[in-house]
Amino acid sequence: MGKMPENIHPIFDTFLNRDSKEKLLEQTAKVIWLTGLSGSGKSSIAKGLERELYERGFLTIVLDGDKVRGGINDNLGFSDPDRKENIRRVAEVAKLFLNCGVITICCFVSPTNEIREQAKDIVGKDDFIEVFVNATIEECEQRDVKGLYAKARRGEITDFTGINSPYEIPQHPDIEVKTKNKSLEQSVGEVLTFILPHIKGTFERDEI
């Protein structure tokens, strides 16, 4: 193969960086990490938040516990080591989307401070927004459409957070949403109001 002429400078040997993709999407990517007990409302808030952001022109993706455990993490159980590995993989996936400029909404029980810190360390603390969806066990059991709490209390499910496995209250969440006596729209609105300043950017498209 002949020598490349000096006036030819190849530009296709490097990956586009995150800034370029954020500029294309006209948004600042963040990982929005919703933590809370099963049935606290994480997934419902995530769906509402996704819709609100979509209507405002933001590109998002939602990573939900049930979907992830039915796919890339279908070989994991609910032991402490498996929970840690579950969250480690999720955080790594979230970071990939983050680096593509996509606002990534994660809804996972992520029951311990250690696990949540692990996720934050992987993603990067400046890009990680921790949302504590605060609902009592009583509220969660009332909303338990899957009957998981009842099964856990009967001993049919082991290592179930809140019943026979602990949930550690987040020490320093970026925002806490107390869902008691609030509509879903109110809870979504609280999160939306908090994150909008973090994901808006001042971008100008290049003229072509």
Which one has a higher pLDDT value, 201 or 91?
Answer: 91
Lowest-pLDDT choice from 63-77, 127-141, 178-192 = 63-77
**Residue 69 · residue 76 · CB < 8 Å:** yes
Partners of 134 in the β-ladder: 178
What integer pLDDT is reported at residue 186 of this predicted model? Answer: 97
Of 43, 110, 165, 187, the catalytic one is 110
What integer pLDDT is reported at residue 9 of this predicted model? Answer: 58
Report whether pLDDT(191) > 90: yes
Global pTM reads 0.86
User: The tokens of 135 are what?
Assistant: 């609902």
Residue-wise pLDDT tens digits, 33-72: 999 999 999 999 999 999 999 999 999 999 997 788 778 8
What integer pLDDT is reported at residue 75 of this predicted model? Answer: 82
Q: Which helix (H) or strand (E) holds 99?
A: none
What integer pLDDT is reported at residue 66 of this predicted model? Answer: 78
What integer pLDDT is reported at residue 53 of this predicted model? Answer: 97
**Residue 46 · residue 131 · CB < 8 Å:** no
For the chain, the first-to-last Cα distance in angstroms comes to 35
Is 110 among the residues known to form the active site? yes
Structural domains for the chain: 18-190 (3.40.50.300)
Rounded mean pLDDT, 187-191: 97
